[in-house]
Amino acid sequence: MAQTPYAYFPGCTLHGTMLEYNASARLVCEAAGVDLRELKDWNCCGAWSAHTTDYMLGLALPARNLQKAEAMQLPMVVPCAVGFSRMKLAMHEMENPAVLSAVNQAIDKPFKNSVVVEPLLKVLASDSLDLEVKKPLQGLKVACYYGCLLVRPQKILKFDDENNPQTMDKLMSRLGAEPVDWDFKTECCGAGMSMPRPDVVNRLSSKILLAARSMGADCIAVACPMCHFNLDFHQREVEAERKEKIQMPALYFTQLMGLALGFSAKKLMLDKHLVDPMPMLKSKGMAA
Amino acid sequence: MARIGVFVCHCGSNIAGVVDINRTVEAARKMPQVVYAADAKYTCSEAGQSAIRDAIKQHRLNRVVVSACSPRMHENTFRRTVASAGLNPYLMEIANIREHCSWVHGDNKEAATSKAIDLIGMAVAKVTRDEPLTPKRVSMTPRALVIGGGITGIQAALDIANAGHEVVLVEREPSIGGRMSQLDKTFPTLDCSACILTPKMVDLAQHPKITLLTSAEVKSVNGFVGNFEVEIRQKSRLVDHVKCTGCGTCWQKCPENVNSEFDMGMGKRKSIYIPFAQAVPNKPVIDTASCRYIKYLKWAETKEGKKPPECRICEKICPTGAIDWEQPEQILTEKFGAIVVATGFKTFDHSVLGEYGGGRIPDVISGLQLERLMSASGPTGGEVKRPSDGAHPKTVVIVSCVGSRDDRIGRPYCSKICCMYNAKHAIMLKEHDPEIQIYIFYIDVRTGGKDFEEFYRRSQQEAGALWIRGRVSKIHREGKKLIVRGEDSLIGRPVEIPADLVVLATGVEASDGVVGLAQTLNISHDSYNFLVEAHPKLRPVETHTDGVFVAGAAVGPRDIPESVAHGGAAAAKAIGLLSKEELATDPMTAIVDPVKCVSCFACHEVCPFGAPEKETLRDGRTVSVINESKCKGCGLCIVACRPGAINLRGFTSQQVLAEVTSLWR
Amino acid sequence: MQMAGAITPVASSEFLDYVGKQSGQRIMDCYQCGKCSAGCPTAYDMDLTPRQMIRAIQLGLKEEALKSSTIWMCVSCQTCSVRCPVQIDIAKAIEAVRLLAVAEKAPAAEKNVKLYHQVFLKSVEFTGRLYEMGLSVAFNMLSRHPFTGMDILPTMLRKGKLALMPVFKGTAEVEAIFARIKR
Ligand SMILES: Cc1cc2nc3c(=O)[nH]c(=O)nc-3n(C[C@H](O)[C@H](O)[C@H](O)COP(=O)(O)OP(=O)(O)OC[C@H]3O[C@@H](n4cnc5c(N)ncnc54)[C@H](O)[C@@H]3O)c2cc1C
Ligand code: SF4
Ligand code: SF4
Ligand code: SF4
Ligand code: SF4
């Protein structure tokens, strides 16, 4: 299959806690003809902390990575919503020539601010990709969760609708699943509050989980490691607080894609989640 | 030989406080062909005017310059003054030494005085070259066209007809009544909307002076005040309304069900239908988009796809044979002296607001939809049931300012009526079901009308509605509940209310198609497409096109009492116009010199009033001529005409040149 | 927050000007509708809701604003900004206040959040990337809840979810960036 090359910025968590996202992303990309060329020596984009406490740092950290992609003359693809948002928002700030030249000085590299940055979701949901669906996700009700950072502000990120995005839903339909029409697709999960204020994340995640359940979802599909952490890792605490089981699996959209394209649960690292998706997938006949 | 009199006004101290009047009079006296110059404390007063009249007689003046305030103030006054002394009124010029001089140069009296002298010199140069002009008289067609049959148009039509003039009312829907016919009850008195509207609709239909054209639209407008020539498109209804008795057999038997526009999609109608039970006229039309036989006819042309049934049930059962599949669209050409535009409004389409469900949540409805649910003649027979499952809602949340006061979507204005209809909805919901709990999110409650504040208080006292100050950010579904999130900005905390039904108070927007209509009529609209009045305070129903009046919600958000008053006001203006036998037109119009005209017709392009026409001369050349009745004397064509063939009466190029040259003499 | 006595609002304060300029927002356009607070995920935990923060800026109440928990509780989710009917980017205005608070070393009402950012950035400064294990250990030590989340640690390790040391070669370059900006 013809392979389209992209400069790949995985983001810190894909090399850390969220290795299953990285693994599944690489598998489906290869199958779909998306050639991921990882940036050499990429660095942390600064996530929530850099721009929050230091304007220049919030620009320079993403810029060092953007400069690498620019030098490779390839569009940059980002699986992590945090990284995607930081790259795009930094580029927006750097449209101001004075800001751009200050950043150039900080990173000590010539950077023209002329990179195309796309979220992995957009690349993999493109209609032009040849996807061979071997095991359609028939009967799987998926609540697609996009979170904040992938879509807001639409004016700048220019990806999908701020309230009712459709990219992942359409992809899920293409894979044979049934996307759930629900209203929490872009409600905040608490983002980086997980460590300093886990109570905040628990409250917000519980709303999302309960809404998905109330609308009849079998699982939640996500496109961001931070969202995944807040919905999967924190579910345990939500269950403890509410004194009830929720057991709503949160899967990366790349993992669901991988299942439909015929990869095994093991290869897709479905065993990495704290809320085990296997019982649900087995009951649907989607995993052995 | 001209004998010019110059009259310099003090305007109390307005002019005299700055300009040296004595020096000015002296200077005027020395100007060429000036035989008399004098000053007066107030030239416009009766004493001042009679001084002018006396001087004309005594000094045999044949031209007059009044040097005073802006011609906008008193040009007509002084024209009448000189006319009453036997002069042609167009042989008078005004030198504006107040707005153009004393008011703006108070800090330099010396310079102001010499400028005043210059201004008078210019007026003297111009008046020397003035020609006597006579207004043309045109006849008046004593009939009015009313466009739009909502409460505004109905009121205007009835008032004009009752004054004895013929009226044609053009309504594009199959029935008149407008939005008011969709309402259940009306604030602030809660009288039943149909009970007060239907009698007026019937009066209108039966009025001997009124011709009602429904399913009709204005296609083109030509002519000018007193003599508009209007083409009206009468759309084909496929039902012969002369034969039809409105018995209702057809719409009972028609097998095709369609969403009812009148019920805002909350109920169904047939393909052959009257929009609602009290419709006027009470005779059906066939909706060609959904009718099975029409679909069959379209299919028969290509024979592609599945064959639709050949139906024609209505035709078979109609006892009078009124169904007419061949009925053509008709174009009627009618003449009118005046036109009233009352095309009303539509409500904001909330599907653009994703945070409120983007139109996808069935139990998030608009205020107008709630009116239909509460109406005894509505789709649920007046029972308030939620659309998704027919359950009776126990908690209802009303959201204000939806599509209003929102820059994001280009709707920064307040829609004015929704606060009050929210209060009304609260009171009526409670009447329907005493157990209902009502929450109303608002930003400000606007109750500026008569009895409005009391009505708002009633919604709290009688209906127990809890008004919460804050704009709602999000509505989301959780199972069967709708969770509404706002901030109670008075206590400064986020609030969440689990509701069974959410009613969005959608704002007022201009009707569809109004821009095209405004262009046809040559009137303006604002950036929101509301029609623009000639003056927002002093000429609220006139437009810049003489003889065309605007009224009701087409001009901006309005409630029923205001719309009725507005419709009446437009009618009064139209009646005033129609009761004249003839109209005098301003003689200061453009005139083409056929010898100089090179037939480029640039003037036709630029004239905003369509005044230039074509005329073929005896030598075979086709040249431009100006229709004096349409010309407003704006002068655009004069600038556009490259050979300089056009001149403006009373403002000839020669006169303007003389004014300018007077300055360097 | 200043409790006793009446506040003295200032119609055109330096603080208002500063925040307006830094954020590029027309703060005075806000008509206090509350839609920002209504959609804010963390408004429940703020002492000033986003709307009240905008009001504080309008009134020139600099001290209240800098000391608020709001500036630390905001997670930059942008919900407020994209829904504001008068198109104020509230998140950006809050960011301007926060950056001012950092610059003026105002005491942070949400100590843990500020601490989290500091620890996070230290990790990035010295390892180039986020070192999650290091971050959580350091954060827990410094915030004096050393055992938060520790019960799940064995599971995480068993699932291979926590890399023990970061693997990254660009450290020096990133350190240099930090150094240049601090200058
Ligand atoms: C939910 C709701 C509740 C309300 N409740 C109240 C209340 O309780 N009390 C109150 O005082 N007011 C109330 N109002 C306001 C009231 O509806 C308006 O004041 C009134 O309808 C305005 O009348 P109108 O004739 O100017 O416009 P409309 O009622 O809109 O009538 C305009 C007419 O013109 C026709 N038309 C449009 N364009 C053309 C065209 N190009 N050619 C021919 N015809 C055309 C339309 O089909 C329509 O029939 C309410 C409004 C809403 C939305
Ligand atoms: S032909 Fe049939 S579908 Fe069409 S209007 Fe008549 S009855 Fe209705
Ligand atoms: S009338 Fe009331 S609800 Fe309607 S736009 Fe104005 S303030 Fe909002
Ligand atoms: S949403 Fe905008 S206008 Fe409303 S309170 Fe917040 S900042 Fe002010
Ligand atoms: S950006 Fe900050 S203030 Fe705005 S909604 Fe998100 S958390 Fe709240």
| Residue ranges per structural domain of chain C | 14-103, 113-182
Q: What is the pLDDT of residues A48-98, one digit of tens each?
A: 999 999 999 999 999 999 999 999 999 999 999 999 999 999 999 999 999
Determine whether the interchain pair C161/A200 forms a contact, defined as Cβ–Cβ distance below 8 Å. Answer: no
Cα distance between residue C97 and residue C22, in whole Å: 9
* pLDDT for the residue numbered C164: 53
Quick one: which atom of ligand 1 is closest to the CA of B217?
42
* pLDDT for the residue numbered C134: 67
Q: Which residue has the higher pLDDT, C152 or C98?
A: C98
Chains that touch B (3 or more CB pairs under 8 A): A, C
Is any ligand 4 atom within 6 A of the Cβ of residue C152?
no
Mean pLDDT of B365-387: 96
Mean pLDDT of B124-130: 96
The pLDDT confidence band at residue B585, using thresholds 50, 70 and 90, is confident
Nearest-CB residue to B360 (from A181, A184, A187): A181
CA distance A213 to chain B (A): 8
Whether residue A2 has pLDDT greater than 80: no
What are the beta bridge partners of residue B6?
Answer: B37, B65
Q: What is the pLDDT of residues B308-334, one digit of tens each?
A: 999 999 999 999 999 999 999 999 999
Determine whether the interchain pair C181/A46 forms a contact, defined as Cβ–Cβ distance below 8 Å. Answer: no
Cα distance between residue B482 and residue B242, in whole Å: 51
Retrieve residue A13's tokens.
Answer: 């968590």
Is any ligand 5 atom within 6 A of the Cβ of residue C94?
yes
Ligand located closest to C54 CA: 4
Question: CB distance from B477 to chain A under 8 Å?
Answer: yes
Is any ligand 4 atom within 6 A of the Cβ of residue C85?
yes
Q: What share of chain A is helix, strand, coil (3-state, %, to 5)?
A: 50, 10, 40
Mean pLDDT of B124-139: 93
Whether residue C158 has pLDDT greater than 80: no
Cα distance between residue B517 and residue B219, in whole Å: 8
Single out the residue of A139, A238, A128, A120 nearest to residue A189, CA to CA: A238
Is any ligand 5 atom within 6 A of the Cβ of residue C75?
yes
Cα distance between residue C51 and residue C32, in whole Å: 6
Which range (A225-229, B52-56, B487-491) has the least confidence? A225-229
Residue at A180: amino acid letter: V
Whether residue B25 has pLDDT greater than 90: yes
Residues 6+ positions from C136 with CB-CB distance below 8 Å: A195, C149
Mean pLDDT of B373-394: 96
According to DSSP, residue A155 is labeled H
Is any ligand 1 atom within 6 A of the Cβ of residue B400?
no
3-state secondary structure at position A22: helix
Q: Domains of chain A: which residue ranges?
A: 4-121, 133-283
Residue at B44: amino acid letter: C
Q: What share of chain B is helix, strand, coil (3-state, %, to 5)?
A: 30, 25, 45
Common-topology check for domains A4-121 and A133-283: no
Quick one: which atom of ligand 4 is closest to the CA of C50?
6
Q: Mean pLDDT across chain B, nearest whole number?
A: 96
Ligand located closest to B446 CA: 3
Quick one: which atom of ligand 2 is closest to the CA of B272?
5
Is any ligand 4 atom within 6 A of the Cβ of residue C36?
yes
Determine whether the interchain pair B474/A187 forms a contact, defined as Cβ–Cβ distance below 8 Å. Answer: yes
Classify A133-283 by CATH class: alpha beta
3-state secondary structure at position B564: helix
Residues 6+ positions from B520 with CB-CB distance below 8 Å: B218, B219, B220, B221
Q: What is the pLDDT of residues C64-116, one digit of tens each?
A: 999 999 999 999 999 999 999 999 999 999 999 999 999 999 999 999 999 98
Which range (B129-138, B262-271, B480-489) has the least confidence? B129-138
Decide if A254 contacts A4 (C-beta within 8 A). Answer: no
Query: Ligand 3: which of B398, B411, B414 to mutate, judged by most atoms within 8 Å of the beta carbon?
Result: B414
Query: Ligand 5: which of C73, C74, C110, C113 to mutate, judged by most atoms within 8 Å of the beta carbon?
Result: C74
Determine whether the interchain pair C85/B489 forms a contact, defined as Cβ–Cβ distance below 8 Å. Answer: no
Classify C14-103 by CATH class: mainly alpha
Q: What is the pLDDT of residues A7-63, one digit of tens each?
A: 999 988 777 778 899 999 999 999 999 999 999 989 999 999 999 999 999 999 999
Q: What is the pLDDT of residues B606-646, one digit of tens each?
A: 998 889 999 999 999 999 999 988 888 999 999 999 999 99
Residues 6+ positions from B467 with CB-CB distance below 8 Å: B440, B442, B445, B459, B460
Distance of CA A211 to the CA centre of its chain: 20
* pLDDT for the residue numbered B584: 86
Q: What is the pLDDT of residues B445-465, one digit of tens each?
A: 999 999 999 999 999 999 999
Mean pLDDT of C45-63: 96
Determine whether the interchain pair A211/B478 forms a contact, defined as Cβ–Cβ distance below 8 Å. Answer: yes
Q: Mean pLDDT across chain A, nearest whole number?
A: 94
Pocket of ligand 3 (CB under 6 A): B 400-401, 404-405, 414-416, 418-419, 444, 446, 505, 507
Q: Spell out which residues of chain B touch residue C38, defining contact as CB-CB under 8 Å.
A: 470-474, 485-487, 494-495
* Burial annotation B573-602 (CB, 10 A radius, 16+ → b, else e): bbbebbeeeebebebbbbbbeeeebeeeeb
Decide if C33 contacts C52 (C-beta within 8 A). Answer: no
Atom 2 of ligand 3, residue of closest alpha carbon: B419
Q: Which long-range contacts (CB under 8 A, 24 or more apart) does C177-182 make?
A: C177/A57, C177/A60, C177/A61, C177/A64, C177/A106, C177/A107, C177/A108, C178/A57, C178/C125, C180/A105, C180/A106, C180/A108, C181/A54, C181/A56, C181/A57, C181/A60, C181/A106
* pLDDT for the residue numbered A273: 92
Q: What is the pLDDT of residues B409-446, one digit of tens each?
A: 999 999 999 999 999 999 999 999 999 999 999 999 99
B631 CA distance to ligand 2 centroid (A)?
Answer: 51
List the domains of chain B with CATH numbers. Answer: 4-128 (3.40.50), 145-227+332-343+513-578 (3.50.50.60), 249-328 (no CATH), 345-509 (3.50.50.60), 589-648 (3.30.70.20)
Q: Spell out which residues of chain C touch residue B495, defining contact as CB-CB under 8 Å.
A: 38
The pLDDT confidence band at residue C23, using thresholds 50, 70 and 90, is very high
Mean pLDDT of B62-68: 97
* Burial annotation C76-105 (CB, 10 A radius, 16+ → b, else e): bbbbbbbbbbbebbbbbbbbbbbbbbbeee
Decide if B292 contacts B255 (C-beta within 8 A). Answer: yes
Residues 6+ positions from B448 with CB-CB distance below 8 Å: none
Backbone angle region of B492, left / alpha / beta, with phi > 0 → left and psi within -120 to 50 → alpha: left
Mutation for A interface: B352, B478, B496, most A CBs within 10 A: B478
Single out the residue of A9, A2, A4, A252 nearest to residue A117, CA to CA: A9
Mean pLDDT of C30-59: 97
Percentage of chain B lying above the pLDDT 90 cut: 95
Retrieve residue B367's tokens.
Answer: 């205020």
Whether residue C146 has pLDDT greater than 70: no
Mean pLDDT of B259-269: 96
Ligand located closest to C71 CA: 5
Just give the CATH number of A4-121: 1.20.1050.140
According to DSSP, residue B594 is labeled T
Q: What is the ipTM of this complex?
A: 0.91
Whether residue C1 has pLDDT greater than 50: no
Atom 3 of ligand 5, residue of closest alpha carbon: C74
Is any ligand 4 atom within 6 A of the Cβ of residue C54?
yes
Residues in chain C: 183
* pLDDT for the residue numbered A53: 93
Q: Spell out which residues of chain A touch residue C130, defining contact as CB-CB under 8 Å.
A: 12-13, 16, 44, 47
Single out the residue of B153, B231, B22 nearest to residue B566, CA to CA: B153
Q: What is the pLDDT of residues B397-413, one digit of tens each?
A: 999 999 999 999 999 99
